[in-house]
Amino acid sequence: MTAADRGARAALSRVVEPGDEVCGRWIGEVGAPEAVRRLHADRGRPRGMTDRRWAGLRARAERADPERDLALARDAGVRFVCPGEAEWPAQLDDLGDARPVGLWVRGRAGLRLWALRSVAVVGARACTEYGAHMAAALGAGLAERGWVVVSGGAYGIDGAAHRGALGAGGATVAVLACGVDRPYPRGHAQLITRIAEQGLVVGELPPGEHPTPSRFVLRNRVIAALTRGTVVVEAAYRSGALVTARAAQRLGRFTMGVPGPATSALSAGVHELLRGEAVLVSDAADVAELVGDMGELAPDRRGPVLPRDLLEPGAGRVLAALPARDPAGAEEIARRAATSTDDAVGRLYELRALGFVERHGDGWKLTRQATTPVRGDRERC
């Protein structure tokens, strides 16, 4: 990457809006330095571009000062990473003509290496307490498993996912829709500063640029492309998080959803994803199993283990033949267990020694132990 190409791309990051496929195709055809020259010379515009749009690009190009932007970035501890450089995440090239012209990066870690093992956790800004809890748990769980948690730095699910990863001492990346030197939203200035210290803050826009509604939407394609998969925790039918998930699907990435109450509007979008190609996940182990390498398997899910589950089949059938409350005789128990009376009596004395049944005159009755879960069982609710 030459200094001329770097400077040209820095200039174009201020001229070209994120995700502009027409300009992206043009830059790919003529190269960044030539694109800047043509803008200043008012010649060789992209095919099909209107006079009005070309004039707008030229006006921006006249005001662009890449040397100043690069100097401001250096002073703020920000670097400009271009396609083809060692730190550039190659998976962003999957965006084709919508690929960023470059990325402004704040933080010490290497973006390319972090992106290789990363997962996006996104969702509603106005999330529920349940959604915030699930996002934080996912962020912490993924970080503990060595995954980088990527999100947009916004209120709600994004912030919870970032905090979960940071709280676990893990790695997290915030992809912003503005200049990385100006944290947005302002209420997350402290959080984004902490992310820059412990992780990375990334954006397509040069220093000082403000977010707009369209930039938020287009930022989501970078989150989707940068990661192996996207988890949506809570999202209504009209949600930027769903834009991220659909972008991930178009790019061939994994899409996952955390289910919520069927009555919640904030879960409606997630449930719609789950009716399609998305995979239901409930914790970080589920996510890691889907997007991770061979052998990163989630634990088997099962209910509480009862002591009776550990009995051999014959004794188990006799135990199951006892009525819930009243004592029963050996012949009745044998008939219900489809065995002989002698076998049933032998099994009943064995079960009494284990504390499952007790004798009442000529009858037999279940003890409380027979229906109590094993103490300390990790799967117990």
Question: pTM score > 0.85 for this model?
Answer: no
Q: Which of 276, 257, 277, 255 is nearest to 267 (CA)?
A: 257
* Helix 330-337 × helix 313-321 angle, to 10°: 120
What does the alpha-carbon distance between residue 83 and residue 264 come to, in Å, rounded to a whole number? 42
269, 241 Cβ separation under 8 angstroms: yes
CA distance 23 to 101: 10
Instruction: Tell me the pLDDT of the chain (381 aa) as tens digits.
Output: 788 899 999 999 999 999 999 999 999 999 999 999 999 999 999 988 999 999 999 999 999 999 999 999 999 999 999 999 999 999 999 999 999 999 999 999 999 999 999 999 999 999 999 999 999 999 999 999 999 999 999 999 999 999 999 999 999 999 999 999 988 999 999 999 999 999 999 999 999 999 999 999 999 999 999 999 999 999 999 889 999 999 999 999 999 999 999 999 999 999 999 999 999 999 999 999 999 875 566 666 766 666 677 788 889 899 889 887 788 999 999 999 999 999 999 999 888 888 888 888 889 988 877 656 544 444 433
Strand partners, 176: 203
Gap between the Cα atoms of 380 and 303, Å rounded: 7
Question: Which residues does residue 175 pair with via DSSP β-bridges, in sequence order?
Answer: 202
How far apart are the C-alpha atoms of 150 and 174, rounded to whole Å? 6
Point out which residues pair with 104 in neighbouring strands: 80, 203
**How many CB atoms sit inside 10 A of residue 339's CB?**
17
pLDDT of residue 296: 65
Q: Where are the beta strands (DSSP E) in 1-92?
A: 78-81
**Helices marked H in 178-239:** 189-198, 213-226
Strands of 222-319, DSSP E: 229-232, 254-257, 279-280
Angle, helices 240-250 vs 265-275, to 10°: value is 10
Q: What's residue 380's pLDDT?
A: 38
Q: Closest Cα to residue 258, out of 156, 172, 135?
A: 135
Measured CA angle at 174 (ends 169, 176), to 5 deg: 165
